Structure 1
Amino acid sequence: MALIDQLKEEQKIAMRAKDKQRLGTIRLALSAIKQREVDEKITLSDDDIVAVLTKMVKQRRDSFAQYESAGREELAAAEKAEITILEDFMPQALTEDEVSALIDNAITESSASGMQDMGKVMALLKPQLQGRADMGKVSGLVKTKLA
């Protein structure tokens, strides 16, 4: 089942169950997907939809951290709940060992020898890791291995 169809089906289920939190989050995701489709005049593939969802999760993690540091526990809890709902539609996250193995393969495949080749390595890794690992952390691991 396509990811967009899965989101729409889950929206219907949330409506029937009167789950306002889940319904609102799914509607936000569908709205963000539709906005990108209209802006770019394209139909998004599952990979593109995962990229949109990844961006939404990242925004919510940033908000969660800010609310938590400001002592706004009720808002932090709402952001955490939205993160959990959005992650239901994303691919299974990779373990650190799997990410490390993919980085090693990408370094070997691109014949990277130093920091000047980091762009090549990241270009190989991004399609494999999109939505499955935090690209900021991956970037740090690649820097460590190339240094």
Structure 2
Amino acid sequence: MNPQPKSFSAKPAEARNERTWWVIDAEGKPLGRLASRIATVLRGKNKPTFTPHVDTGDFVIVVNAKKVLLTGRKLQQKNYVRHSGEPGGFRSESYGHLLERKPELPIQKAVKGMLPKNVLGRELLTKLKVYAGPDHPHAAQKPQPLSYS
């Protein structure tokens, strides 16, 4: 009788040693497709060592966030909403206005929505670095370009 091979489960200490840095240019890329690719890399689902309850993902740097693409009329029609909890505290802002005011926020919010809603998801989000322009301060980490496919 041939025994089956044991399944692999990554340990948190092992996963931290194998992190790489990726950089992706958001210019002209659709927001949702970009966010799903980023969430996959942050979570570590692109690696054979993926373990659902352990952070096995890599760091992702996004540049040119202000040039991200939204199809159709979403610049005017898509709204980001928030509520302060007070009566009359509802605030709504169009994507176009938010992109002018704080261009990093739409990508962060889109990726956050694709990550787990628990402590692990909040930990994964700290590995995402988003910048409005083409420059970033992480050259010392030697980031590699992330293929968009």
User: TM above 0.5, one fold?
Assistant: no
Structure ranking higher in strand proportion: 2
Structure ranking higher in helix proportion: 1
TM-score of the superposed pair, with normalisation by structure 1: 0.24
Structure possessing the higher relative contact order (Cα contacts under 8 Å, 6 or more residues apart) = 2
TM-score of the superposed pair, with normalisation by structure 2: 0.24
